[in-house]
Structure 1
Amino acid sequence: MVRELKEVQGIIFKRQKYKEADLLAKIMTKNDGIITLIVKGALRPKSRLSAATINFSAGTYVIYTNGHGLSNLRTYKEVKQFDGLYQDLTKNAYASFIFDLIDHAFVEYQPLGRYYDLAMFALKKINDGVDSEMITQIVQMKLLSAYGVEPQLAHCVICGKEKGIFDYSIKMGGVICNDHFGVITSRMHLKPKETAVLRTIGLLPIERLGTIKISEETKKATRKAIDRIYGATIDLNLKTKKFLDELKLF
């Protein structure tokens, strides 16, 4: 496949040293998926490319690519930093975990579709000071489908009831109404409000999600529930998650 110069819009979210003065930088793009870029000379003093590839830099990048394997970053246009993330360790940790989750759900150059918009939504909200933990929970619930896990949140998986009191069953693959609480031993025994939060953040489009105000107790319970769902259905062992745990955020 012939290499070509191409402009991509995206967000740099991971970088590491490569050879003596070069970097490898991962960029999440809107139309071309996740790409690993070689950034030549980025570690040399006064490198323009280094400043443009700081984590959570967003903009237009000109790359040399053939659509697979490593691509080369040639130059950039209109790059901006999300300063709120760059300057705040906690925000940075949440954002890094979110992008790591999305990264592991796709192979390189696989179009991300709506999940790119989800990443941008999360980045902007966390940068602006919106509850980072709640934004992360929203992303996790919506990202389950990218991993092939499609929990039924709209109605009871047994009888189809859409309104009432619900619990969640990992084994059943979604919510069950209280008509079946006595017979479904695999349910998680969440409080009705906790299940309601999971349903809301999983079902509502991101553009309709306003400010979600829930108690710290409920937030902690939904965090544990989401961790259990991920632990039982998706085999992940992410360093970014461990780092969050070490910060005692979860």
Structure 2
Amino acid sequence: MLHRVEGIVIRSMDYGEGNAIITLCTENAGKVGVLVRGAKKVRSRHAALIQLFTVGEFVFFRNNGGLGTLNSGEITQSHHPLREDLIKAAYASYACELLDRVLHDEETGSFWFRQLTACLNALEEDKEPGVIINIFEMKLLQAAGYAPELDACVICGSQKPDDQLLISPRLGGVLCRSCKHQDPPALAISPRALKLLRLFAALDLTRLGNVDVKEGTRLELKKIMRSFMDVQLGLRLKSQNFLDQLDKYEI
């Protein structure tokens, strides 16, 4: 059966001699794997279609599910500037790999197509990459059923002033000081960082404006969100390892 979808290339891998398999996050067909024959060969008309972050219309044959075979395609947005910039490419790769690993095929669709589109566009527009990715991570945690509790203590349910709260990635949310013994390694969190986490939880990436976050708060948010991702999802991503390496060289 012939299928026509709008999709974003979130994974691309070599297959055999000169071929490639791409994974698409599509607008209406979930997550789809497509074989692109001859894509790696010199002068292939499909070479540009297999590049990460490429947005386009893909026409492929597929019978009874499984892997499709590309018939034709047309690029609508190449995101070439993302691939040219090491930092942007690293964050964009992380977003794509995270989406690919966390969500099942049937869970990807219009919402995630829009969120990833907004994420890639924001990275290309030079918005703060750490903030963009933190919001994207929050959306993934929510979709996976691990949304953090940010308004009341996860143990006793009390609502304390923000300056009297800690945050526990292991327990899944904020912790009042009276319950700190339930998780002694719980992290300190500033009222400003907590307010931003609540904003991230409520925010849709498609409506993201310019969020001005001081460097100290960005680092705090990065540490907290990384802890949540590690503890709640336990993924080991190649793109995350690369981001960690980049951190060692950032000023």
Whether the TM-score (by the shorter chain) exceeds 0.5 is yes
In structure 2, the residue matched to 1:116 is 113
Residues 147-186 of structure 1: per-residue CA shift (max 9 Å, x gap) = 221222344544464974443223442234xxx3233332
Does residue 1:182 correspond to 2:181, yes or no? no
Distance (Å, rounded) in 1 between the aligned partners of 2:108 and 2:47: 26
Distance (Å, rounded) in 1 between the aligned partners of 2:2 and 2:17: 25
In structure 1, the residue matched to 2:242 is 243
CA RMSD of aligned residues (A): 2.1
Contact 1:38 1:70 in 2 (8 A): yes
* TM-score, scaled to structure 1: 0.88
Mapping 1:80-91, distance limit 5 Å: 80-91=77-88
Does residue 1:29 correspond to 2:26, yes or no? yes
Write the letter of the residue equivalent to 2:96.
F
Secondary structure of the residue aligned to 1:194 is helix
Structure 1, unmatched stretches of 5+, are none
* TM-score, scaled to structure 2: 0.88
Count of residue pairs brought into register by the alignment: 244
Q: Which of 91, 95, 109 is the equivalent residue of 1:94?
A: 91
Deviating runs (4+, > 3 A) in structure 1? 108-113, 154-167
Distance (Å, rounded) in 2 between the aligned partners of 1:160 and 1:210: 33
Distance (Å, rounded) in 2 between the aligned partners of 1:246 and 1:12: 24
Distance (Å, rounded) in 2 between the aligned partners of 1:61 and 1:145: 29
Secondary structure of the residue aligned to 1:79 is strand
Quote the offset at 1:210 in angstroms.
2.2
Quote the offset at 1:79 in angstroms.
3.2
Give the direction of change, closer, same or farther, for the CA distance of 1:31–1:163 in structure 2 (3 Å limit).
farther
Give the direction of change, closer, same or farther, for the CA distance of 1:190–1:82 in structure 2 (3 Å limit).
same
Residues 174-200 of structure 1: per-residue CA shift (max 9 Å, x gap) = 234xxx323333242112222222121
Write the letter of the residue equivalent to 2:221.
T
In structure 2, the residue matched to 1:141 is 138
Give the direction of change, closer, same or farther, for the CA distance of 1:78–1:207 in structure 2 (3 Å limit).
closer
Secondary structure of the residue aligned to 1:104 is helix
Mapping 1:97-246, distance limit 5 Å: 97-157=94-154, 158-159=156-157, 161=159, 164-165=162-163, 166-176=165-175, 180-185=176-181, 186=183, 187-246=186-245
Give the direction of change, closer, same or farther, for the CA distance of 1:20–1:215 in structure 2 (3 Å limit).
same
Q: Percent identity?
A: 27
Residues 40-89 of structure 1: per-residue CA shift (max 9 Å, x gap) = 11122211111222221111110112353211111013433012202111
Contact 1:155 1:162 in 2 (8 A): yes
Residues 112-165 of structure 1: per-residue CA shift (max 9 Å, x gap) = 342222111101000111111111111011110222212223445444649744
Distance (Å, rounded) in 1 between the aligned partners of 2:77 and 2:230: 36
Quote the offset at 1:34 in angstroms.
1.6
Contact 1:115 1:143 in 2 (8 A): no
Distance (Å, rounded) in 2 between the aligned partners of 1:51 and 1:117: 22
Contact 1:52 1:79 in 2 (8 A): no
